[in-house]
Amino acid sequence: IQDHNRVHAADVLHGCYYLTCHPVRPLIGPATSPDSLLPPPLPPAAPISSSMSTLELMALYTAAAMHDYDHPGRTNAFLVAAEDKKAILYNDRSVLENHHAAESWRLLQLKENNFIETLDSAETKRFRYLVLEYILATDLKQHFEIIMTFNEKSSEMELLNESDRLLMAKMIIKMADINSPTKPYGLHRQWTERICQEFYEQVGHF
């Protein structure tokens, strides 16, 4: 598979790590006083990871590494049109993302892979919920809805709020998943050619 392979998985994991650990300015600074001639100083930059729990970070990095696990090199639209068994199983909705999430969890349950066995039941339930939410957020059919929600909330986003952290993490994994335009042109072109080749290869299988 040209694009959705283990190199892509490592790239998305690296992207999520960078975006959570690189210091950034808050989305909104302190309000300017009408009596002040100068704007207030900006708060210091801090990594988003400083606002996330260890469990949330572990879930995000796990989702990043596994978000395209067992990818067949076909799009959701192709699988639905071909009436593939995965499309039938998941009722044509986020077919690949549901498949990646289910197969990833099945893989994680194998004793030799189960690095979360020390979590208690509440932590395991929370971890699973977050991993599924993050993986399902990579469905590009949800792209504009997630972007719209983020834009609506960005001016008042508070990372002490659990739902706001979840939304931010969804944005992070989405940015990491489609990050090739941020790379040097030569590398970006390689990834673009890879995904195009993957798309072209669908034609002979329809």
Which parts are annotated binding residues for Zn(2+)?
67-68, 177
| pLDDT, position 147 | 96
Residue closest to 132 by CA, chosen among 158, 169, 157: 169
Asked if residues 3 and 58 have their Cβ atoms less than 8 Å apart, the reply is no
Task: Note the pTM of the prediction, 2 decimals.
Answer: 0.89
Beta bridge partners of 46: 24
Q: Which residues are tagged catalytic?
A: 4
Asked if residues 188 and 177 have their Cβ atoms less than 8 Å apart, the reply is no
State which H helix or E strand residue 17 sits in.
Answer: helix 6-21
Place of tokens 């690296």: 14
| pLDDT, position 10 | 98
- Give pLDDT tens digits for 32-73: 566 666 666 667 788 999 999 999 999 999 999 999 999 999
| pLDDT, position 182 | 94
CATH architecture group of domain 6-205: Orthogonal Bundle (1.10)
User: What is the domain partition of the chain in residue ranges?
Assistant: 6-205
Which parts are annotated binding residues?
67-68, 177
- Give pLDDT tens digits for 130-187: 999 999 999 999 999 999 999 999 888 899 999 999 999 999 999 999 999 999 999 9
Asked if residues 65 and 11 have their Cβ atoms less than 8 Å apart, the reply is no
Q: Where are the alpha helices (DSSP H) in 82-184?
A: 85-89, 95-108, 121-136, 143-153, 162-177
